[in-house]
Every structure is written in C-alpha cells, then in structure tokens.
Amino acid sequence: MATEAHGEAGAAVGMPQLDFSTWPNQIFWLLVTLVVIYLVLSKIALPRIGAVLADRKSTITNDLAAAEELKQKAVEAEKAYNDALANARTEAAKIIAAAKAEIQKDLDAATAKADAEIAAKTAESEKSIAAIRDGAAAAVAEVARDTAAELVTALGGAADAKSVSAAVTARLKG
C-alpha cells in the first residue's frame, strides 16, 4: 500500500525515522558521541572553565577588598588631615587671642598715657586762655574808658574821669 503512495517518485522511502534497520547504527554512533563529549567535558572543559570562573571571582573579590582597604585608608587620611587642620585652627586662634590681648594692653597703656598728657595739656591751655581772657577784658575796659573820655571831650563835655570810668564799668558789666 505504501508503494502506491509514493511509488511514482521512486526515491521516497516513507519516514526514514521509522526505518528500523538504521537504528542500531544511529544508536551506536550516538553512544560513541555522547561518551566522547562527556569525557571531553568532564575531564577538560568543565574543570577548566570552572577554575577560570573561580579565579576570576577570587581576583574580583581580592580587588574589591583592596579597594575597600584603600578607601578605608583614604578616609583615615582625610580624618587625620581634618584633625590637623582643626588643631592648627585652635592654635592659631589661641595665638591670635594672646597677641590681641598684648596689643590691647599696650594700647590701653598708651591710651591712658596719652589721655593723661592730653588732660595736662588741656588744663595748661585752659589756664593760659583764662589769663589771656582776663588780660583782654582788662585791656578792653581800659580802651573803652579812654575812648569814652575822648568821646566826651570831643562832644564838648568836661570829662570827669571818675564818672566816665564808672559808666564804662557799668556798661561793660551789662
């Protein structure tokens, strides 16, 4: 019956998969192949690749550990740097404060001295100014008396020195 289905084609052989005469051949070569592949894989390829992968993993782990260590070191160095910086800052602040206090002391002393000198000078000046003022006032009274006497004379009166002087003095006071 099968020959009718594809007898005309001649070459067709149905399903080669179901041609049981070739099964022993295929099974034999398959087993050979599988054994060869298994040996190649289990003896050479897989241990090698596994070793490479393990190597890489340990290398990466080591590198990561080293990087972590370096990072730790960097953090420590930064901390030390910051500490040094802070120390320097406090030291500097201390020095500045001391210098400031000293300068302040000098300054205060100088200021006090200067103040005293200035006070002395002021007192002296005031004294001389008062003397000058007194002198000036006396001179003004003299001039005024003379001028008033002259004026009285010029206006045709008889200048009584005593009354003129009294009037001028009264005026000056007023």
Partner 1 sequence: MEGELALMGKYIGAGLAAIGLGGAGIGVGNIAGNFLAGALRNPSAAPSQTANLFVGIAFAEALGIFSFLIALLLMFAV
Partner 2 sequence: MATEEGSGLQIHPMDQFVVKPLFGDGPIQWYTPTNVTLWMGIAVLAVIALLVLSTRRRAIVPSRGQSVAELFYGFVHKMVEDVAGHEGVKFFPYVMTLFMFVFLSNMLGLIPMSFTTTSHIAVTVVLAMLVFLTVTLVGLYRKGLGFLAMFWVTSAPLALRPVLAVIEVVSYFVRPVSHSVRLGGNLLAGHAVIKVFAGFAGAMGLASVVPIAAIVAMYGLEVLVAAVQAYVFTILTCVYLRDAVGEAHH
Residues making contact with partner 2 (CB under 8 A)? 6, 9, 11-19, 21-34, 36-38, 40-42, 44-46, 48-53, 55-56, 59
Give the residue with the Cβ less far from partner 1, 18 or 154. 18
Give the residue with the Cβ less far from partner 2, 9 or 85. 9
**CB of 18: closest distance to partner 1 in angstroms?**
5
**CB of 89: closest distance to partner 2 in angstroms?**
48
Structure tokens at 133: 């003022």
One-character DSSP codes across 46-79: HHHHHHHHHHHHHHHHHHHHHHHHHHHHHHHHHH
Could you say which of partner 2, partner 1, none residue 90 binds, taking C-beta under 5 to 8 angstroms by partner kind?
A: none
User: Which residues have CB under 8 Å from 12's CB, separation 6+?
Assistant: 6
**CB of 9: closest distance to partner 2 in angstroms?**
6
Amino acid at 65: A
Footprint on residues 4-43 left by partner 1 (CB under 8 A): 4-6, 12, 14-15, 18
Neighbours of 164 (CB within 10 A): 21
CB 151 within 8 A of CB 164: no
Structure tokens at 100: 């400031």
Structure tokens at 52: 């490479």
Give the residue with the Cβ less far from partner 2, 15 or 85. 15
Among residues 1, 9, 154, 158, the one that binds partner 1 under rule CB under 8 A:
1
User: Which residues have CB under 8 Å from 153's CB, separation 6+?
Assistant: 159
Question: Which stretches of the chain bind partner 1, using CB under 8 A?
Answer: 1-2, 4-6, 12, 14-15, 18
